[in-house]
Amino acid sequence: MRKILIVGAGQAGLQLAHGLLLAGGYEVTVMSQRPASEIRHGRVTSTQCMFGAALEMERRALGVDLWSAAGSGHRIDGLGVSVPGPDAAPAINWLGQLSQYAQSVDQRLKMAAWLELFAERGGTVVINAATVSDLDHLAALYDLVIVAAGKGDIVELFDRDAERSPYSAPQRSLAVAYVHAVRPREEHPDTSAVRFNLIPTVGELIVIPALTTSGTCDILFWEGIPGGPIDTFDQVADDPAAHLAHTLELIRRFAPWEYERCAEAELTDPGATLAGRYAPVVRHPIAALPSGRLALGIADVVVANDPITGQGSNNASRAADTYLAAILAHGDRPYDQAFMQATFDSYWARVAVCTAWTNAMLAPPPPHVLDILGAAGQHQDVADRFANGFSAPDDFADWLLDPIKASTYLAAVTAR
């Protein structure tokens, strides 16, 4: 039986671990920095919205749907965009319909449950904040070591890929609050939807319906351009109440069309806020440990995009799906450097367009993108295609990312 160690208990690490257990023939160990109880009752670690295609991969790997969206109150059926005009009212304001529902489950709730289920199914869980020396020692005991922990000293083992990493500094400051008591948007009160509010020269406010440890909620997520008025959460980072008050004041100031429905928002729990920043980066997938043994990176360890497009958990699911298929197909052959590089290359082929799209969203939108956003308010099929691109980002290469293809597509839509 082949022995595999996965360091990190997030979306990619646990999805892959469950997939290997269900496949059979693998002895799988997951190393988690914290036990499930601490994860569940700790501070929020992320935003997330998993779209239809990624949810399907997740279900296949786990063999079970722990959070069926039917009747749960956190099913997401739409994705909308608002952009203010000169009078601060939305000049662009539309809703695209998703062909497959999406959902957002607080990773404290999700990863704690997945970690417990993994142990119940016979997987080995080790609670340890692994150091490089720990990893080097353990690598001798396993056939394959996969690093799925996107933070900490271990990540520094993986070198930055300068050719695929156009940014060397954070492009947004990030501020998150999980809240109760947000009302639906008046224009679609019966459709639960992610709302992207794009505010030129300032940043983005993203509102995500979600499920947390205390029930259904909404995530208020500010992405601020560095040095701008949203890049001001450092001063309230240690005070959740002040963080929420600052969040709401910025909504009142820069996205007033969202303020009324958010005005009575209350934090879901004492750990419901998060602030920080990081530079988007692609790293080389293979790390050489001090002994010369190798470790393979996955998901955020090797491709960490800005969360502006909500693809982090989706890419993690794609990564786990890719790595699972590669491991199962590899049989009893050694997990050598060639296997590791080929596995990453297969993953990169699935997320290269997604990374290009995300990086493009961090820059001021070019004229053809503004044309698309405007056309989506006039043509429902444009709005729907944009919304469903979040589930299948490769589609954006055929229109959104290319001004000529965009013009051709819009001309065809107008003609129809």
Distance CA 217, CA 48 (A): 13
Residue 70 has pLDDT above 80, yes or no: no
β-strands 124-127, 26-32: how paired?
Answer: parallel
Provide the sign of the torsion angle of the four alpha carbons 170, 281, 6, 316, taken in this order.
positive
User: What is the CATH number that goes with domain 75-104+172-276?
Assistant: 3.30.9.40
What residues does each domain of the chain span?
Answer: 2-64+106-167+279-361, 75-104+172-276, 367-415
Q: What is the pLDDT of residues 175-188, one digit of tens each?
A: 999 999 999 999 99
- State the DSSP string of 264-304: T-EESSTT-EEEE----EEB-SEEE-TTS-EEEE-GGGTEE
Q: What is the mean pLDDT of residues 91-98?
A: 97
Q: What is the pLDDT of residues 356-374, one digit of tens each?
A: 999 999 999 999 999 999 9
Beta bridge partners, 203, equal: 199, 224
Residue 153 has pLDDT above 90, yes or no: no
Query: What's the chain's average pLDDT?
Result: 95
Q: What is the pLDDT of residues 188-247, one digit of tens each?
A: 999 999 999 999 999 999 999 999 999 999 999 999 999 999 999 998 989 999 999 999
Q: What is the pLDDT of residues 283-327, one digit of tens each?
A: 999 999 999 999 999 999 999 999 999 999 999 999 999 999 999
Q: What pLDDT is stored for residue 69 in this prediction?
A: 58
Domain range 2-64+106-167+279-361, its CATH number among 3.50.50.60, 3.30.9.10, 3.90.78.10, 3.40.630.10: 3.50.50.60
Q: In which region does residue 62 sit, left (phi positive, over 0), alpha (psi from -120 to 50) or beta (all else)? A: alpha
Count of helices and strands (H, E) across the chain: 12, 16
Q: Place 72 in a pLDDT band, splitting at 50, 70 and 90.
A: low
- Say if 2-64+106-167+279-361 and 75-104+172-276 have the same CATH topology: no
Cβ(389)–Cβ(96) below 8 Å: no
Residue 44 has pLDDT above 80, yes or no: yes
Q: Place 165 in a pLDDT band, splitting at 50, 70 and 90.
A: very high
